[in-house]
Structure 1
Amino acid sequence: MTLNPTFVDFSADPPRTANASVRADGAGDAGGHWILDAGGAVWVDFAAETPSDEVTMKICALVSKNGSSSGHAPLDILVNGQSVISRLRIPGGGDLPQVMTFAVPGEWLRSGPNTLELRSAEDSRAMLWLYRVLLESVWDRDAAERALLTDHAAESAFTFATYSRPAGASEWRDGPELRFQIDEGQAAAPAELSWRGSDGSEAAISFAGEMTGFLGHVRTPGGAWLQFRGDLTERREHLDGSARRFETEVHWGGDWHRSGELSVFLDTGSGPVERVGWRDQRGNTASIGLTHDGASFTGYAQRVNEGPIGYRGEIVGGTR
């Protein structure tokens, strides 16, 4: 069967899709996910050609808690009217989204339009939270997830409203915007980001997978450590010519070798930064130390499942 990688990412409004369109009744956006009420349904229409082989389906969802108790929102999943599973009780207790994997027989699919239906039971006493749906050929493992990460990384420029507080305080104080763009050609959004400012400030933050917010800590120039969080306010492809572009090299086997281009922009509201480190959603990591004028850097990089290697760069051209 020919099935292009298919996904629906409900963390965006409207949802991000590939080879799919979405219809709903009793369901809608709730900021970072969709919510299905009791009896609510979501239909994902997708296309396939010459069906024959099995399809792998992955669904990320949770059921909201009833106070301190586990929620109750059984889920029915159907493909072209055929039941994949009935009254599924999603595990996890409502604390974290759960990824569930199912096999869809190839004979259930049609050449051309197909429909996946996700329905919350009429007797649900909690809300079903839906994060994403992935569909791919059984022989093309993780293709839909790779396609989603690539699509997710296309808009790599972020702006967050920030807030901080001492560890013992209850109220958050407004802070300066955090604006950044890091693109090293790996087609993946950041999962973690850290930096040191030339004024002595430092921070380390971790992002929600949907990039709707972050949590971390920050050190002020005076040496005080604060809790630090942010809410996404804007996401776009570029930051209007603000990112510096570097030609890079990596060191392995005793020699330096040309690598791809790195675009970096980080505005913390506290002046220039001298060190930036990150881990992306594919598991790649890097850390760079910038010269005083920001024209070059030295650091390291580590691709997922590989060892660390030297990393250096020189600024080229203009910004983007």
Structure 2
Amino acid sequence: MSMNNNGIAATFADLSVNPPLLSNADVRHQQARFARSHLALDTGGALTLDFNVEDPNEIPRARLAITARVPEPGASPGHTPIDVLFRGEALAHEFTVPGDDLSQIHLFEVPARLLRPSGNILEIRASREVSGTLQLYRITVDSVRDGDRSERSLAAVTTRHPVFAFDTHRRSPFSSVSWNEWARLLVHIDWDESSLPAQLSWRGEDGSESAISIQPDMCGFYGYYRAADGTAYEYRGRLNRTWSLTEGIPDGYENISTSALRHFRTEEGQDGGRHGSSELRLWVDDGGAPKARVAWRDQRGSSGVAVMQTASAEPEVTDVKASDEDAEEGAWADFLNDDSEYKWLAREDTAHVDFTLALPTALSSYTLRSAWDDPENDPRDWALKGSHDGDHWVILDRRIDETFPHRFQAREFFVPTGAAAYRHYRLDFTRNAGGTETHLAQVRFLEALTGQAFGYYQPVNGDPIPYRGTPVPEPTT
């Protein structure tokens, strides 16, 4: 247990993980349960924290910080009154933790006369008159002479589990539409700085973009998301899980792929002189297109940007078969795999086309080119499916109400990051633009090849430093 010269250790309880991260503290609770990102106190529940103080005479008073949230039950604002007691004396009685989207830090003063070398018992009791569950994320206790010591120590511990998974929601900012559940967001930024991200922005290869500000305790974020078509949304997230890369993928996250994790060996400098620097790891995965740019600022005030250079390769297609093709008109499915202006035509308003590749390939995107005539036969709804054996199919991408405003127009659609490598792919067209047939001029697949990165890094109170990065080869077994 480390002490500073103010007589109190770094004292914290991080309840966002189970088991909780503790320093100079023992925690007990009743009528409470651990969720993935917090300790939930039910009606009448209580938490007790017991810690030591080396020299109480050195502390004029202590500062208690409780990070908590009460989610809104339905459309009503939630609230939970709590009693906060220290050694049996009330620091607050029926203090109301208001309902909010994000957790809030509530500060309380602990008088010096209550501090003892041992047996410093803090109690948090949830009232029986509640509207919403009290969610506790963390508790810190510090001398006012070093008021953020525990926060600094906790941040250092938290960086040992630097992969953050957020459950996210979005909504239109100019309507009464409620928040809608959206794709999980994974965040990991590591340049050997042992500091947590505070702000983050990124742009996808499809033109989509996001910018978020993350709470200091990493329990949530708020920002915006702009889709590739320009539609903007409010964007928020709640922490669901943290882990370390060395731990592997945790239980419940088996469907996550690390293919979006970018690992670079960097060198920095300018004016012709460069030298090796720290390795950079970036993992920003919102379920959409691969990231073309990522920018960040950490909690210490350092910042950086990475621009990804990603090459693409077109895998070899060895066979194309369709559920139907118009042989009389010579509108064969094979035309989808060449550069001619001929088209494939199915004589039904729904159809599917199967493509066999020379080798199993993980796709980054696919491109559909409209035919030169009859726009009413253009596909409108479809799903891209993958298969290892050509019989059992997995949906990789689904599109609804797409349009091709121009004839012979090529549109690219990105496959969500992390899709597995398949040898067989199927485009299953379930609705067209109102015609009696379905047609296309061309289909192209692209495989993403991890490339280089460049950008700048600016340490706090320092000058920006340009760098470039080359991919670190994955270890072989």
Asked if Structure 1 and Structure 2 have the same fold, meaning a TM-score greater than 0.5 normalized by the shorter chain, the answer is: yes
- Spell out the pairing of 1:1-320 with structure 2 (5 A cutoff): 3-29=8-34, 32-34=37-39, 36=41, 40-49=45-54, 52-54=57-59, 56-61=62-67, 73=81, 75-78=83-86, 81=87, 83=89, 85-87=91-93, 89=95, 97-105=104-112, 108-110=115-117, 114-120=120-126, 130-137=136-143, 140-160=146-166, 162=168, 164=170, 166-167=172-173, 168=175, 170=177, 176-230=183-237, 232-238=239-245, 242=259, 243-248=261-266, 259-293=277-311, 295-304=451-460, 306-307=461-462, 309-315=464-470, 317-319=472-474
Counterpart Cα distance in 2 of 1:180 and 1:220? 19
Are the counterparts in 2 of residues 250 and 309 from structure 1 also a CA contact under 8 Å?
no
The one-letter code matched in structure 1 to 2:160 is A
CA deviations 1:76-109 (Å, max 9, x no partner) are: 321xx36373537468x65562431524538832
Are the counterparts in 1 of residues 65 and 140 from structure 2 also a CA contact under 8 Å?
yes
The one-letter code matched in structure 1 to 2:454 is T
Looking at secondary structure, tell me which structure has more strand per residue: 1
When structure 1 is superposed on structure 2, of 200-209 and 59-68 the one drifting more is 59-68
The one-letter code matched in structure 1 to 2:29 is A
- Sort the Cα spacing of 1:21 and 1:267 in 2 relative to 1 into closer, same or farther, 3 A: same
C-alpha displacement of 1:264:
1.3
- Sort the Cα spacing of 1:275 and 1:141 in 2 relative to 1 into closer, same or farther, 3 A: same
Q: Which has the higher contact order (CA 8 A, sep 6+)?
A: 1
Counterpart Cα distance in 2 of 1:52 and 1:207? 37
Are the counterparts in 2 of residues 3 and 49 from structure 1 also a CA contact under 8 Å?
yes
- Sort the Cα spacing of 1:213 and 1:70 in 2 relative to 1 into closer, same or farther, 3 A: closer
Counterpart Cα distance in 2 of 1:267 and 1:68? 33
**TM-score w.r.t. length of structure 1:** 0.74
How many residue pairs match? The answer is: 314
Are the counterparts in 2 of residues 250 and 256 from structure 1 also a CA contact under 8 Å?
yes
The one-letter code matched in structure 2 to 1:155 is H
C-alpha displacement of 1:173:
6.2
SS at match of 2:81: coil
- Sort the Cα spacing of 1:174 and 1:73 in 2 relative to 1 into closer, same or farther, 3 A: closer
Are the counterparts in 2 of residues 158 and 232 from structure 1 also a CA contact under 8 Å?
yes
- Sort the Cα spacing of 1:125 and 1:45 in 2 relative to 1 into closer, same or farther, 3 A: same
CA deviations 1:269-304 (Å, max 9, x no partner) are: 333322101233444332222223554433333444
C-alpha displacement of 1:32:
4.8
Unaligned runs of 5+ in 2: 250-257, 312-449
When structure 1 is superposed on structure 2, of 126-135 and 263-272 the one drifting more is 126-135
Are the counterparts in 2 of residues 215 and 228 from structure 1 also a CA contact under 8 Å?
yes
The one-letter code matched in structure 2 to 1:299 is G
SS at match of 1:150: helix
- Sort the Cα spacing of 1:121 and 1:286 in 2 relative to 1 into closer, same or farther, 3 A: same
C-alpha displacement of 1:160:
4.2
Counterpart Cα distance in 2 of 1:25 and 1:51? 29
- Sort the Cα spacing of 1:226 and 1:138 in 2 relative to 1 into closer, same or farther, 3 A: closer
C-alpha displacement of 1:144:
0.6
CA deviations 1:180-203 (Å, max 9, x no partner) are: 421123323333322112222222
Are the counterparts in 1 of residues 12 and 25 from structure 2 also a CA contact under 8 Å?
yes
**TM-score w.r.t. length of structure 2:** 0.53
SS at match of 1:73: strand
SS at match of 1:145: helix
The one-letter code matched in structure 2 to 1:300 is Y
Are the counterparts in 2 of residues 71 and 94 from structure 1 also a CA contact under 8 Å?
yes
C-alpha displacement of 1:39:
5.6
Counterpart Cα distance in 1 of 2:176 and 2:77? 28
Counterpart Cα distance in 2 of 1:261 and 1:56? 40
Unaligned runs of 5+ in 1: none
- Sort the Cα spacing of 1:37 and 1:221 in 2 relative to 1 into closer, same or farther, 3 A: closer
C-alpha displacement of 1:146:
0.8
Whichever of the two has the greater Rg, that structure is: 2
Counterpart Cα distance in 2 of 1:258 and 1:56? 45
Are the counterparts in 1 of residues 163 and 244 from structure 2 also a CA contact under 8 Å?
yes
Are the counterparts in 2 of residues 5 and 143 from structure 1 also a CA contact under 8 Å?
yes
C-alpha displacement of 1:43:
1.1
Counterpart Cα distance in 1 of 2:36 and 2:125? 20
- Sort the Cα spacing of 1:4 and 1:248 in 2 relative to 1 into closer, same or farther, 3 A: farther
